[in-house]
Structure 1
Amino acid sequence: MKISVFPSVYESTRSDLNGVSNDLLNGLKIDYNDESYMIGNLALQEGLSPHRLMNCAPGELDFDILFRAALLLAQKKAGSNFSVTVGFPFEMYQKYNDTAKQRLTKSFDVLYDSSTFENGLNSGTQSATMQLQNVDVIPEIAGSIISLRYGKQQEKDDFFVISLGYGSMEAVVSRSSGIIRRTATSTHGLRYAVNMMKEELQKEHYLGFKTEHQLNVAFKNGEININKRMVDLTALRRRVLKSYFENIIRPALANAFQDSDFATSSKLYLVGGGAYFKELTDRISKEYDGILNIKIPDKPEQMAVKGYCLNTAMQFEGEGIPVGIDMGNANTLVAIMDEEE
């Protein structure tokens, strides 16, 4: 399975950006509704204030731009005819499931500027046409469950799963027969902790016009450059993650899970980008010490998109190359099934 990743940010531009990147992934620039947009790494490199909304839906500018960029990356590897699965946080899924399928199951013409990464007579504005043969929409956490059960892990037992995403934290109990709907919970994601960090930093520092993406990167790296000086964030990050766990995660899980769930399940999988923060996963491990066996799969942030791709392969066998697109709040991921798979 081939996976491409780019930051979920964009910015409009009227500049000519010739030869500023090495490839399409790092030179995403598309035209949409009579505007040109830099996307992902190109927006971070050339833009002044790259941004996006949280948990947007089809029809909203943020979704439409990032989705077209993801389709363009998929087309370069999967061809012009493919089937795709996308996901939404559980609460959004219930609202947008049918609408998303109707809006996305169609042909897309994506105009893009290849001069950002190509030279020569063929560089410049080009058009890529893609026919989405089939589109399925599933809850984000269902994507991770599919990946755990049918991907590398091949998990057969009942298990708990917690998805530690940037926009939302979700959890549910998965049985071989399906999820237990009663246990499904969704609440604030790591953005809550990043905003807490921002508030604490502002008490002593002027942050200027740093974007949310820049603050999230600083949060992950454990350091931030303010007024040309590097500031260590590790102690502050530890404090805000503790507060995030105690005030948001713990109460949500306590309300979702009952004693009967622990009687039948002994494993807990942690997925999503938040699974990289040991300060957070250690607190979850301590909460369930002696009760659940905590597991963090390899590349936990890719579990949802791998599940989307696997879902496409299972639902639409033989109907184009299977693709999964994860419109994540921090990064957008595109997974394409290898022919041998």
Structure 2
Amino acid sequence: MLKTKSFPSVFETNTTELVDVADGLLEGLKVQVDDEQYVVGDLALREGTAPHKGINNAPSDLDYRLLLRAGLLVAQAGGADTPLTLTTGFPYSSYRVHRRSAGNLIEGEQEIEFDGRPFGEGEHSIVGVDIADVEVLPEIEGHVTATREGEIEEDDPFFAVSLGYGTFESVLSLPSGPVQRTATSGHGLRYATSMMAERLREKHYLDMPTEHQIDMAMRRGTVVAGRQRYDLSELRQKVLRIYYNDVVSPALKKAFDDSDFGQTRKMYLAGGGALYTELVDAFDDEFGEVLSLEVVPDPAAHVSRGFALHAAGVNGKSPDHAVGLDLGNANTSVTLFDRERA
């Protein structure tokens, strides 16, 4: 059985002494990189003033290195056995560029420095995480692997569509493997949230909200401005429909032809965007008569779960060594194999 821990992919520099402000490590991440301390995830949202996120970062970027260390810390605390076999990924459009540098960055002994005081531990803590094997895949392959080898156990051909914050991706998956011709990447949900932010600023003073705050307001369907709460459901429906019509639908029309639809009757949606019923309805309007449309269980963690299943398939050891790490633009998800209990 798989278990996934996730935290928001946001961070902020912080040198404040934070003591006993979180229930555990996941809620109290304060990680050191290049002699600077950063609050990460939920702690950044609670204690930071303007926590921010990066979009589709390269392995050399601070954002990537910081979230990587935080993710490894969560994996180590979650009980993963070392040496780890870790699988992670990048959008299809960039994974060839980054896979070698990411592998070189991750593989080997990682020494992670963090401040444990936010959740009741020591001020300066160091843990070592030994990573023996690293696999870097296109993120859409994580979706396919989770759909075929995970809870769904799909054996037939299907269209895989992943609706992430930074990118959306899709591919036709056959039992023999993906059809490379159909693989596509496009703008993610950030397109819709940026549009929402512009329209909100036309009517309300939003007190300099960060990109993550706009993203969260869109998820909740409400925003507070001038100490008044406003319903965003109508605006959310509008920007998501525009996003689908302007970005998603044209890309899928270009990627999939009639011969592809002749090979399958199924489409599986994953990623955080699959949690929006407005977006799922747009897919159903276009494909409902020709395909069976299904949102995968726990869509935001689906790619990470596929990465963990892939890692377990290549490490040659117990699945307890396998880790799937999805450094997403909205959330970072760490998936391990839960130990069997007697």
Within a 5 Å distance, the mapping from 1:43-54 to structure 2 comes to 43-54=44-55
CA shift digits 1:46-83 (9 cap, x unpaired): 10111121011212100001100000111112144211
Distance 1:166 1:242 in 2: 16
- Per the alignment, residue 330 of structure 1 pairs with 330
Within a 5 Å distance, the mapping from 1:67-82 to structure 2 comes to 67-76=68-77, 77-82=79-84
Question: Are 1:103 and 2:105 matched, yes or no?
Answer: yes
- Greater Cα shift, 99-108 or 62-71: 99-108
Distance 1:92 1:279 in 2: 29
Distance 2:99 2:22 in 1: 36
Distance 1:62 1:139 in 2: 19
**How many residue pairs get matched?**
338
CA shift digits 1:110-136 (9 cap, x unpaired): 0111111116xxx22110001101110
- Per the alignment, residue 219 of structure 1 pairs with 218
Q: Which amino acid aligns with 1:98?
A: R
Distance 1:292 1:217 in 2: 31
CA shift, 1:278, in A, is 1.0
Q: Which amino acid aligns with 2:181?
A: R
Within a 5 Å distance, the mapping from 1:147-226 to structure 2 comes to 147-226=146-225
CA shift, 1:259, in A, is 0.6
- Per the alignment, residue 145 of structure 2 pairs with 146
Give the 3-state SS of the residue equivalent to 1:207 in structure 2: coil
CA shift, 1:187, in A, is 0.5
Question: Are 1:35 and 2:36 matched, yes or no?
Answer: yes
- Per the alignment, residue 88 of structure 1 pairs with 90
- Per the alignment, residue 246 of structure 2 pairs with 247
Give the 3-state SS of the residue equivalent to 1:264 in structure 2: coil
The change in CA–CA distance for 1:316 and 1:80 in structure 2 (over 3 A counts) is closer
Question: Are 1:281 and 2:280 matched, yes or no?
Answer: yes
Does the 8 A contact of 1:159 with 1:265 survive in 2? yes
Does the 8 A contact of 1:80 with 1:129 survive in 2? no
CA shift, 1:273, in A, is 0.8
Q: Which amino acid aligns with 1:14?
A: T
CA shift, 1:147, in A, is 0.4
Does the 8 A contact of 2:155 with 2:175 survive in 1? yes
CA shift digits 1:210-244 (9 cap, x unpaired): 11111101001100111111011000001111111
CA shift, 1:295, in A, is 0.9
CA shift digits 1:285-311 (9 cap, x unpaired): 110122101011111111100000000
Distance 2:288 2:315 in 1: 41
Q: Which runs of 5+ in 1 are unaligned?
A: none
Does the 8 A contact of 1:161 with 1:174 survive in 2? yes
Within a 5 Å distance, the mapping from 1:253-268 to structure 2 comes to 253-268=252-267
Question: Are 1:13 and 2:18 matched, yes or no?
Answer: no
Q: Which amino acid aligns with 1:182?
A: R
Normalised by the size of structure 2, how large is the TM-score?
A: 0.97
Distance 1:28 1:221 in 2: 24
Structure 1 runs (4+) greater than 4 angstroms displaced: none
Q: Which amino acid aligns with 1:22?
A: D
Normalised by the size of structure 1, how large is the TM-score?
A: 0.97
CA shift, 1:92, in A, is 1.1
Does the 8 A contact of 1:19 with 1:115 survive in 2? yes
Question: Are 1:132 and 2:131 matched, yes or no?
Answer: yes
Distance 2:250 2:81 in 1: 46
Distance 2:244 2:32 in 1: 41
Give the 3-state SS of the residue equivalent to 1:334 in structure 2: strand
Distance 2:333 2:243 in 1: 26
Distance 1:99 1:292 in 2: 39
Give the 3-state SS of the residue equivalent to 2:262 in structure 1: helix
Distance 1:128 1:162 in 2: 37
Q: Which amino acid aligns with 1:201?
A: L
* Percent of paired sites with the same residue: 40
Q: Which runs of 5+ in 2 are unaligned?
A: none
CA shift, 1:317, in A, is 2.2
- Per the alignment, residue 237 of structure 1 pairs with 236
Q: Which amino acid aligns with 1:256?
A: A
Distance 1:329 1:286 in 2: 28
Give the 3-state SS of the residue equivalent to 1:195 in structure 2: helix
